[in-house]
Amino acid sequence: MTLIMETLNIEILNPKAIKLLNDLEELKLIKIDKEYSTSDFIKFVKQLRRKAKNVPSLEEITKEVEIVRSKRYARRQNKGDH
């Protein structure tokens, strides 16, 4: 028996297809890797920015990311102290 593995990129047009694909995965007939392309991410960000009343600057985003990282780091350090 020859095992043929092929990778396909599929654009889902109908949500019902997702259930079919999930069923095939449960039967171990296919493996699903959800990958999002950079262009999908950029489209999503642009969509969010269009809906936003005030678009944050790069500096504001960086500051917020650093605040969140600091809080996560502090929580991890506190868990280690117990």
6: nearest Cα among 31, 24, 36: 31
* pLDDT confidence tier of residue 1, bands split at 50, 70 and 90: low
pLDDT in tens, 5-34: 788 888 889 989 999 999 999 999 998 887
DSSP E strands, 1-82 = none
Give this prediction's pTM. Answer: 0.40
* Phi–psi pair at 24, nearest 5 degrees: -65, -35
Strand, coil or helix: what is 67? helix
Give every CB contact of residue 55 below 8 A, 6+ residues apart in sequence.
49
The token pair that represents 39 in the structure block: 């262009």
Select from 39, 18, 21 the least CA-distant residue to 30. 21
